[in-house]
Homo-oligomer: A and B are copies of this chain.
Amino acid sequence: MSNFGLSGKMIAQPGKRDELAAILMEAASGMDAVADCQIYIVGVLPEEPDAIWITEVWDNAEAHQASLALEVTQAMIRRAKPLIAGFEQQVKHVPLGGKGMTAR
């Protein structure tokens, strides 16, 4: 099965970027316990004060999909949702390999 990569921009409600980023960083910490999540990085964009850039790499698309159904993810989504204005530039890709991926 192919690896699965998801990168994209999340736009926070005005002034809420840092609060949203903190929730996403909690989610990232939770990923330490999720073996099939290889990368989950939260970034900000210097020239867009309300934007967050998220970088995810999973063992496969099914693992990513399954993570969305976990109660801990659902609880996180409930907290984050009121702070989110929208999504942009979502890119789904198939990582072939490289530095930072987990060898399986």
Contacts and interface: CB of A to CB of B under 8 A. Distances in A.
Interface of A: 3, 5, 7, 9, 21, 25, 28-29, 31-32, 37-46, 53, 55, 57, 89, 91-101
A38 B9 CA distance: 21
A40 B98 contact: yes
28 contacts: A7-B7, A7-B53, A7-B91, A21-B96, A25-B96, A28-B97, A28-B99, A38-B100, A39-B99, A39-B100, A40-B98, A40-B99, A41-B95, A41-B97, A41-B101, A42-B96, A42-B97, A42-B98, A43-B96, A44-B94, A45-B92, A45-B94, A46-B94, A53-B91, A55-B57, A57-B100, A89-B89, A89-B91
